[in-house]
Structure 1
Amino acid sequence: MKNRRSSGLIMLKLVKLLNNLWYAMTIAVATGILGFILSFGISLLAGYSILSILPNTKDNLKYIFGGSFSTSTYIYAMIFCGFFRGILHYLEQYCNHYIAFKILAEIRIKLFKIMRKLAPAKMEEKNHGDLVAMLTADIELLEVFYAHTISPILIAAFTSLILFVYLSHLNIIYAFYMLVSQIFVGLIVPYFAAKRSESSGLLIRNNLGKLNDEFLDILKGIREIIQFSQGKKVAKKIDNITLSLGEQQKDLRNKMAEVQMASDSAIILTSIFQLLLSIFLISKNLVNIEISILAGILQVGSFAPYINLANLGNILSQTFAAGERVLNLMEEKPTINDSEEYFKENSKNDIDKYIEIKNLSYGYNKNINILNNINLSINKGQLIGIMGESGCGKSTLLKLIMRFWDSNFGDIFINSINIKSISLKDLHKKFNYMTQSTNLFIGTLRDNLLIAKPNATDDEIYAALKKAAFYDHVLTLPNKLDSIVEESGKNFSGGEKQRIGLARSFLANREIFLLDEPTSNLDIHNEAIILKALIEEAKNKTIILVSHRESTLSICDKIFKMKNGIIYNL
């Protein structure tokens, strides 16, 4: 299990993702600092104006830093501060949320690109519900960090520095006391709050992922659940998960309430100590009453930038947990190391060994091989059949040719070039790869076919549909090629999906066909049409046809049998 990162390291790595958004962050911080200074100015100027009209303080006020102006000047200054405070606060929030929504979109795009590189080997190991939770809820939770954490921390730090300089002109003791108070309220309290809820936050994020995975699993198998009367059992399982999650969230909310209580208590205590400090300093004639009043007003107001940060403590525990999950996926290395080399046709054009597999062995668990010392040579333009029972390694062999995984031992060559030296993008352009379970996307039938060839004409699409024995069926649909495909193609049968998958392969028209049980869900009539089309395709294509049915493989030039990971000639 991977070691958990510290909160500081998570913050640093999340900040690095900002890239070209620092200009917006600079504006947010600058407007935030100016806004808080104007906010402090309202209360401070009110203090100056009151002191300037009281008989016992107005004469001494002019000897204090900033106290030499008239009462009307302070009032106009307060109006100025109030007006521009609102504008600056709007600009700060606008920039913060612009940054947050922009970076969240970029993170989603990055994760999609990373998952594409990890697929299929690494992605098959992951829970799809957990990935959905990560791409939606986890990334959305990072908005708290980017909109309400980075700039507020910087704003609070720079604001404290400015207030320290101002208070130093009043009295250096007050300046240092304010600094210590802000460190206590703004750093120490949030730190211990985050520490207390750190494990709870990660647990909640992980359990939300598990809950999503359970729901996806149930939705996929809803017919079986109804058929076998498992509704109560499934409902109880979901209840247990949600109750457990509810308890964890309740615990986190309780900790959040504790943090808010601790923050408020800390502010009250520091204010009381400020009052006691002022009494002591006045009694020793170290300060006068005017300075102590101004310092007291500023001390109470100076906590404003830190209060929200302190209350973010428990929310940040979940945010950092979400951030760690996102960073873990971002930093995950693909199983396959991609090459940057383009596929270059061998000048020898070695037709006798167009596809050559040498001493190939592979196992998902490296201690147990699924394929054992496979040796196979396929000529260009041959139609080769591989027959065997389920689980004997037929599908695995095709995936290795596609380089979804790398073999433990041995090599695969295309036209005498090792596939490991070819870029995956370029390699996959050589293949039409089809499994017995075709995936359809939400959209139209045309959209699903154009995946294979985006610029295909309707005539090309219909020609491919004829080869796949699906042309006549499409003509019966009300909207023909523009007919809607529902989620996962649930408005099409298994056999219809297979024929759409075959039509994609015929439309793509690539050099090598890898067909894994392509007619397993079809009737004899439609299978015969498709096999006839494959015979025609084999005249200028190389085809590897995998099936457990001898009748399907009867069209092949040569048939191999696979058993226990070993391949034999028939």
Structure 2
Amino acid sequence: MGIFYRFIEFYKPHKRLFFFDLICATMVAVVDLSFPQLLYYATHTLFVGGNDTIITGCIYIAIIMVVLYAVRYACQHYITTWGHIMGARMESEMRRLLFKKYQALSFSYYDKNNTGVMMSKLVSDLFDISELAHHGPENVFLAILEIVGAFILMGMINVQLSAVLFIIMLLMLSFGIMQNRKMKNIFLDNRKKIAGVNSSLQDSLAGIRVVKSFANEAIEHAKFKVSNDEFLESKTASYMAMGSFVAGGGIFVGLSYMSVLAIGGYLIAHNLLKPTDLAVFALYIGIFLNPINMLVNFTEQFQKGYTGFCRFVEIMDTPILIKDKENAIDIGNVKGKITYENVSFAYEDEQKVLKNISFNVDAGKTIALVGPSGGGKTTICSLLPRFYDVTDGNIYIDDKNIKDVTLASLRDSIGIVQQDVYMFNGTIKSNIAYGRPDASDEDIITAAKQANIHDFIISLPDGYDSLVGERGTRLSGGQKQRLSIARVFLKNPRILILDEATSALDNESERFIQQSLDMLAKDRTTIVVAHRLSTIQNADEILVIRHNQITERGSHAELMENNGLYARYYRMQFHK
């Protein structure tokens, strides 16, 4: 019922559309029920008179039916158009909320969940929810009206035949409930399997260049075949269940006609029923069975929409682990002093990645983190903008605990240049402007010049309006890196994180980009993660991170004199 009430909440902004949709459904039901009643009236009253009376009566009945079916047309048109529009609006609102939720979830959620599965919940699930939102209440309401109305009118014709149909309907309802329980789990499995297909597809297409470089198309075909076959198997099970449900419903339909014909014949033989009444009663059976067929078709739609909404609720109920605390303040004008105080961190249900990390960086100074891979260097950087929250200890910027300030103001004060640069599918200008969306063209050009990328951009046929391709495929690694640096120049933060920003580049690209990074780091507080020690020799302090702890610290000269791990790394790189 909790799921039901949460679903109802989405109708509130559209309650006028919803209630008028139900009014139109009522009118459709009334018109559908009126024809047999007009026939009943004609056979008992009109057709027993003279020819003139019959002709005049038929004209009046024709006029009434034209009016009724004109009303039905208008109501059905409203149901089909505005009913679907209402469902689309609800779908759009759910999609907005789901996308907003995805944006709010922390990195730890994305560490554990697949992009393809998330896309499936955002697209296919919500489409089925939209169909349920429109057709669900309308179909159920219309079906109940027609079933109840038909029973009442059939009861007025003959109580015995109506009682027989009522018993058959109860049996049919019991059969439907049992079949629904089976189909619920099957359709939920459908959702999981199609999400697996989307996941496999997204993973393969995103890595298509790696796939082709290793000539591993056959392997990807095999992987996709597994998820595709699993989905086919699940869909087959769902159609088998639907087949049993529909075929079983057909048996009850046949049973209805057979029972009415047999019992009706018996009643006619004993002068308890007129043949004309049996004919009218048979028309009502058709009206009675039509909403039942509607409910049969609705069953599949309901199960799809219900399981989709359950998955939607599952995401919406996922706790946001990193968010602004109550009464969080704006960090204000940042000078750039950074303090890590006994910081420890562990991912969920894992051993600690960092243990008692403490250091200070004065405003405008540079600190470098070096050490073997997996030691926790990138994690240290990720804790500063609160991509993850510390397990123990505290981090301060200008003596303000980062948990006491708003996430927006905290992250606005920090610029990050990483090794793996992400380019959005758009123009060079839009990618640079991502650092400050309201920036003018002049500011964007200035940032590009500071990043040593302006000359390359203007050499392109479309200049700043050139498309970068998906994930920046039309650009080299060095060009993407310089665009990411231009973003940060445009953002102009007081604190800078350089996470192995040049480690994947060739020597020439590294030299140009290092010049840009040096300019970018000027007068900013900077944390540098580097494997190439040539880039950090002038850092104010160097921390060696090993076994999740700080094992050495000092300037380049001091660490060389200590002859520890840093000195060994330096000699390995420079053969000294």
After TM superposition, the score normalised by the length of structure 1 is 0.88
Corresponding letter in the other structure for 1:73: Y
Q: Distance in 2 between matches of 1:321 and 1:346?
A: 46
From the superposition, tell whether residues 239 and 529 of structure 1 become closer, same or farther in structure 2 (CA, over 3 Å). Answer: closer
- Is there any run of 5+ residues in structure 2 with no aligned partner, and where? 555-576
User: Structure 2 residue aligned with 1:41, among 34, 37, 46?
Assistant: 34
User: Structure 2 residue aligned with 1:272, among 248, 252, 258?
Assistant: 258
Residue number in structure 2 paired with 1:546: 529
Conserved? CA contact 2:344–2:355, under 8 Å: yes
User: Structure 2 residue aligned with 1:374, among 349, 353, 357?
Assistant: 357
From the superposition, tell whether residues 93 and 496 of structure 1 become closer, same or farther in structure 2 (CA, over 3 Å). Answer: same
More off after superposition, 426-435 vs 29-38: 426-435
Residue number in structure 1 paired with 2:565: none
Residue number in structure 2 paired with 1:456: 439
Q: Distance in 2 between matches of 1:409 and 1:313?
A: 51
Please tell me whether residue 196 in structure 1 is matched to residue 189 in structure 2. no
SS at match of 2:107: coil
The aligned runs of 1:17-416 (5 Å cut-off) are: 17-52=10-45, 54-55=47-48, 70-164=57-151, 166-167=153-154, 170=157, 182=169, 185=172, 187-278=173-264, 293-344=279-330, 354-416=337-399
Q: Alpha-carbon deviations, 1:294-331, whole Å to 9, x = none? A: 44432331232231221232343333222222221121
Q: Distance in 2 between matches of 1:23 and 1:174?
A: 40
Conserved? CA contact 1:346–1:416, under 8 Å: no
Corresponding letter in the other structure for 1:427: L
SS at match of 1:442: coil
Q: Distance in 2 between matches of 1:109 and 1:143?
A: 14
- How many percent identity over aligned positions? 23
Q: Distance in 2 between matches of 1:22 and 1:174?
A: 40
Q: Distance in 2 between matches of 1:359 and 1:284?
A: 97
Conserved? CA contact 1:342–1:422, under 8 Å: yes
Cα shift at 1:263: 1.9
Q: Distance in 2 between matches of 1:430 and 1:346?
A: 9
Q: Distance in 2 between matches of 1:105 and 1:345?
A: 35
- Is there any run of 5+ residues in structure 1 with no aligned partner, and where? 1-7, 60-66
Cα shift at 1:375: 0.6
Corresponding letter in the other structure for 1:85: R
Conserved? CA contact 1:384–1:559, under 8 Å: yes
Q: Alpha-carbon deviations, 1:122-148, whole Å to 9, x = none? A: 123111111122222222222331222
From the superposition, tell whether residues 291 and 397 of structure 1 become closer, same or farther in structure 2 (CA, over 3 Å). Answer: same
Residue number in structure 1 paired with 2:402: 419
SS at match of 1:385: strand
User: Structure 2 residue aligned with 1:569, among 518, 539, 553?
Assistant: 553
SS at match of 2:360: strand
Residue number in structure 1 paired with 2:563: none
Corresponding letter in the other structure for 1:87: A
Q: Distance in 2 between matches of 1:49 and 1:332?
A: 63
More off after superposition, 78-87 vs 31-40: 78-87
Conserved? CA contact 1:383–1:544, under 8 Å: yes
Q: Distance in 1 between matches of 2:13 and 2:224?
A: 43
From the superposition, tell whether residues 343 and 414 of structure 1 become closer, same or farther in structure 2 (CA, over 3 Å). Answer: farther
Q: Distance in 2 between matches of 1:501 and 1:152?
A: 53
Q: Alpha-carbon deviations, 1:429-481, whole Å to 9, x = none? A: 11112321111111110011111112222332222222222222212212111
Q: Distance in 2 between matches of 1:272 and 1:111?
A: 51
Conserved? CA contact 1:45–1:75, under 8 Å: no
Cα shift at 1:269: 1.5
Corresponding letter in the other structure for 1:151: E
Q: Distance in 2 between matches of 1:535 and 1:79?
A: 83
Q: Alpha-carbon deviations, 1:379-412, whole Å to 9, x = none? A: 1111221122221111111111111111111111
Corresponding letter in the other structure for 1:360: V
Conserved? CA contact 1:267–1:303, under 8 Å: yes
SS at match of 1:396: helix
Corresponding letter in the other structure for 2:472: G
Q: Distance in 2 between matches of 1:438 and 1:95?
A: 45
Q: Distance in 1 between matches of 2:207 and 2:125?
A: 26
From the superposition, tell whether residues 181 and 85 of structure 1 become closer, same or farther in structure 2 (CA, over 3 Å). Answer: farther
Residue number in structure 2 paired with 1:430: 413
Residue number in structure 2 paired with 1:5: none
Corresponding letter in the other structure for 2:23: A
SS at match of 1:303: helix
Corresponding letter in the other structure for 2:361: I
Conserved? CA contact 2:36–2:280, under 8 Å: no
Corresponding letter in the other structure for 2:329: F
Residue number in structure 1 paired with 2:456: 473
Corresponding letter in the other structure for 1:467: Q
Q: Alpha-carbon deviations, 1:492-524, whole Å to 9, x = none? A: 122221111111111100121122112223344
SS at match of 1:555: coil
Q: Distance in 2 between matches of 1:225 and 1:530?
A: 30
Corresponding letter in the other structure for 1:391: G
Cα shift at 1:376: 1.3
Conserved? CA contact 1:200–1:248, under 8 Å: yes
Q: Distance in 2 between matches of 1:146 and 1:180?
A: 31
Cα shift at 1:207: 1.3
More off after superposition, 188-197 vs 378-387: 188-197
From the superposition, tell whether residues 325 and 344 of structure 1 become closer, same or farther in structure 2 (CA, over 3 Å). Answer: closer
Conserved? CA contact 2:478–2:509, under 8 Å: no
Cα shift at 1:157: 2.6
Corresponding letter in the other structure for 2:469: E
SS at match of 1:543: strand
User: Structure 2 residue aligned with 1:490, among 469, 473, 476?
Assistant: 473
Conserved? CA contact 1:342–1:426, under 8 Å: no
Q: Distance in 2 between matches of 1:442 and 1:257?
A: 45
Corresponding letter in the other structure for 1:411: N
Cα shift at 1:162: 4.3
Conserved? CA contact 1:190–1:309, under 8 Å: no
Cα shift at 1:363: 1.4
Cα shift at 1:175: 6.1
Instruction: Provide the alpha-carbon RMSD of the alignment.
Output: 3.0
Cα shift at 1:424: 1.6
